[in-house]
Structure 1
């Protein structure tokens, strides 16, 4: 029975299935999967937008060479052995690293700390791998996929020494605020893998989001502001200026850092 578009249902179904399979194929042999968690996890509103922009030859080279060594897909099917993955180093989780310049700099400046860096942006993944390789940094692992699945399914309790969320998407429209990452439910989830005393470090140049972050973190019983007056923190020296930060400052935005300790 033909559809209203004049295409038989079986042909349309076969075409959709081929498109689905293509979306799930890695763009590079042995590289990050297009949809690592596949369909075995629930569909929900996500706090990120996957971006498949152009990959440069250098980024492609880094993905092909280094992904098998330093990359992993967030498939939700197994629990990570962080001590083995990072040779016993304390591990900080970074969610959303953009093009990876700041992450690579922090890794080079502090080789005694492992950074598990999560993003879905393929060019950024390749760029971070290439930067770490050029810097001689072996303390970075790049994770591809949904950080929520990573936190919920793939990390042991008390396995993280810190969390960094720098310049997440502010979702400025009111109807999109539910997509913002820093919410009470997210803090409930991240509290499990974080060790007592671990630092949650957030930074944003979007004033309303900074206010929400401060309100949500302050209200949560498992996190305590490291600032005595309960406000924003000065930018720590270890956090380099990110590309997004530079863009925000260029627009006249004020950058706020928040540092809260896991109780």
Structure 2
């Protein structure tokens, strides 16, 4: 399906980790995983890469019922928690995929189909030797852009100043993306505060927003 080349040797943007599961998480996975799982071929409007524990994702989907959301997360407790939130809030417009987002974009998301892609507080991989693992690097951005429809939005946020500048440089250099603002974007009121963002506020770190649309 893809029209974008990818490196022959794939470097993942995350370290696989299972994490500790509570009884309610086991219950959610057992009862709800199939019910709310993404089925390849289903239409998607908004893709969230790395939904964490899912609180912000569920809030956005609840406030935007006319668009179909897909949350991609590989951390098992986060998947389980989001499944519980979907059930508790009765969300019919949110599905979950516990897979690598880049693999999903390549195999299961048609070109020009997404209205928005959200990348909120991804791992900054601060050491130089790990920068290849960052999500916002040219070839991964090209893939995301290819899956956006015309005018579709790539919305990123980070509390790592170095990564923010690298994101700005990478996104500005992509020939098919246009910055909606002059540099960093103002924080939109509609984006819920995430747990990572709360931690940054507590530690005195500012957050940076970037909003680019497919030209």
TM-score with structure 1 setting the length: 0.76
1:81 alignment partner, one of 1, 22, 41: 41
Q: Indicate if the aligned counterparts of 1:82 and 1:159 stay in contact, CA closer than 8 A.
A: no
1:237 corresponds to 2:197: no
State the structure with bigger RCO (CA 8 A, min sep 6), 1 or 2.
2
1:57 matched residue in structure 2: 23
1:141 corresponds to 2:98: no
Structure 2: unaligned runs, 5 residues or longer: 1-7
Larger radius of gyration: 1
In structure 2, distance between residues paired with 1:250 and 1:232: 22
1:209 corresponds to 2:163: yes
- Number of residues of Structure 1 aligned to a counterpart in Structure 2: 208
Change in Cα spacing, 1:123 to 1:188, as seen in structure 2 (3 Å) is same
Alpha-carbon distance, 1:43 to partner: 5.8
Give runs of ≥4 in structure 1 deviating > 3 Å.
none
1:219 matched residue in structure 2: 173
Q: CA RMSD in A?
A: 1.4
In structure 2, distance between residues paired with 1:239 and 1:60: 29
Alpha-carbon distance, 1:72 to partner: 4.0
Structure 1: unaligned runs, 5 residues or longer: 1-41, 74-79, 84-89
In structure 2, distance between residues paired with 1:72 and 1:113: 15
Q: Indicate if the aligned counterparts of 1:92 and 1:115 stay in contact, CA closer than 8 A.
A: yes
Q: Deviations over 1:193-230 (max 9, x none)?
A: 11000000000000000001111111111100011xx2
In structure 1, distance between residues paired with 2:47 and 2:169: 22
Change in Cα spacing, 1:72 to 1:50, as seen in structure 2 (3 Å) is farther
1:251 matched residue in structure 2: 203
Q: Indicate if the aligned counterparts of 1:82 and 1:91 stay in contact, CA closer than 8 A.
A: no
In structure 2, distance between residues paired with 1:147 and 1:218: 22
1:27 matched residue in structure 2: none
1:1-263 correspondence to structure 2 within 5 Å? 44-72=10-38, 80-83=40-43, 91-227=45-181, 230-263=182-215
